A and B are shown apart, each in its own frame.
Chain A
């Protein structure tokens, strides 16, 4: 979805390096998410944010941190990258409906990260 953009699209880095993945959205949504996709495991939630002051850990937050710089921007950082963080990373956004769990999430194109 062109309304959700991720940079970079591809990144190769070395073990121990700090990496930041960025996500921007023009949908005006309050909620933003970071997932990683691994073959055979589907998508797993890393962190999510329901507004600028609300950050929550997902099921696999160890080794990651996030920053919600503005309503439209949500960054994911790997403080010291390791090879098992090699994956496809997706950002997603959703609106703030009355039943938040029912909100449709809209995904960015993904960032393919390789840690050597």
Chain B
């Protein structure tokens, strides 16, 4: 079975400071990894994904994530946080199999950026 852990329910950071939202995963074989963001009263929006290749993935709104196979992690990062980044962030994983398996999501991390 595949699973995702987001160990922090909430992350607080001051505007202008770097931010990290943590994610670890468990999957049989090689993973596909995703980050989504949810703003209040909205659906989830895709930020970025890792399929293969470069371990550092760049995505929307200045976010990036680093795939670390040995630590089974895919932490989301941004060099300088904005108040508008405040939202709920979800990490998700699927396995490189026949493609019949859907995404498994983590429980979400609420990011609060203070002015």
- A residues lining the B interface (CB < 8 Å): 1, 4, 33, 35, 40-45, 48, 50, 56, 58, 90, 92, 97, 99-102, 104-110
Kindly provide the distance from the CB of A27 to the nearest chain B CB, expressed in whole angstroms: 13
Of the candidates B9, B43, B99, B104, the one having the most CB atoms from chain A within 10 angstroms of its own CB is B43
Residue of A nearest to B94 (CB): A101
Contact of B102 among A4, A58, A107 (CB under 8 A): A58
Q: Is the CB of B44 within 8 A of A50?
A: no
Pick the interface stretch among B14-22, B45-53, B72-80.
Answer: B45-53
Q: Is the CB of A102 within 8 A of B43?
A: no
Kindly provide the distance from the CB of B37 to the nearest chain A CB, expressed in whole angstroms: 11
Contact of A100 among B9, B34, B99 (CB under 8 A): B99
Residue of A nearest to B108 (CB): A42
A-B pairs with beta carbons under 8 Å apart, 12 shown: A4-B43, A42-B90, A42-B107, A43-B90, A45-B102, A90-B44, A101-B95, A101-B99, A105-B34, A105-B44, A105-B103, A109-B41
- B residues lining the A interface (CB < 8 Å): 4, 6, 9, 32, 34, 36, 41-46, 49, 51, 90, 94-108
Contact of B100 among A42, A50, A97 (CB under 8 A): A50
Of the candidates A42, A97, A99, the one having the most CB atoms from chain B within 10 angstroms of its own CB is A42
A99 to B102, CA, bound (A): 12
A90 to B36, CA, bound (A): 14
Contacts of B4 in A (CB 8 A): 42
Q: Is the CB of A100 within 8 A of B45?
A: no
A82 to B89, CA, bound (A): 29
Q: Is the CB of B102 within 8 A of A109?
A: no
Given A40-B107, A42-B105, A42-B108, CB of A1 within 8 Å of CB of B99: no
A40 to B45, CA, bound (A): 19
Q: Is the CB of B32 within 8 A of A101?
A: yes
Contacts of B97 in A (CB 8 A): 101
